[in-house]
Structure 1
């Protein structure tokens, strides 16, 4: 596939992903409530909330442009696991939903600006973002089966984002970053 065809395919994939996700609400129930706890419930959970879907895709998109790209995705998934364990253990993080929405804003801005960070700063930021997302999931999906499903889906979304980041045209990626950031601002406003 030539470069132009790859660019069109990546642009189409980003457009379809954002379009399919546009009707989704926040993945977390606002007034208590809980999800069931099977593998499929965990697997579908990241796809049902615009905040998680965009954050995980954005981590993948942004990470491939970083000097430590090979291990940023692993840092993200590893810290999602740590966050899930903390949530399942009952650790409550104040302002969790606002923090999660803010991760979408910040990742979108980083993509829009094609920002590069030093390896340690990038890893710390991605790790902190993953901790927030994982903590929220740990509260809602504390069972091992749901955790495995969630980790698999999260990994697929991050890898999918990295494919988009690797093959997407620079301008399309920057515009996608701006759209992700704008969506994040709307999510912050609705929390």
Structure 2
């Protein structure tokens, strides 16, 4: 597996070694013993999300009880984003993004303390993500996808949003007690 560093410490792209021939292909999608050195904790929950083209989900996080997420796409293509929202971090408010697709088979590690979001670029996109903590409704939170202070360069101008995501506050409007610390 190749580890590709991003501009944010802790966020990495994992590119598997694919063995392919005329019969098809094989690759190792997950092995804990390669990930521990990257600071990736054991996973306790797996989720699947399917979205139509132009659907934007995020920017979501949990606090307290944060989740780290190992995100991959099994069908289609998405533009996947992580935003550092850890108070005191030298990268607070900065974001990084990667294209994940069934074709490139890349996985994106979004550490605890980061907000996560994506937009479906293909007609349909199906994501699979492993989480380091279970979903906690009381800790669930969101930040505005179009927060001008973050200036995330989304590849869509008018995404399809849930009511929750459309009403999410800007990062500067979130109470300090509802944000993780570095």
Q: TM tier, shorter chain?
A: under 0.3
Structure with greater helix share of residues: 1
Structure with greater strand share of residues: 2
User: Please, what TM-score do these two structures have when normalized by structure 1?
Assistant: 0.23
Q: Which has the higher contact order (CA 8 A, sep 6+)?
A: 1
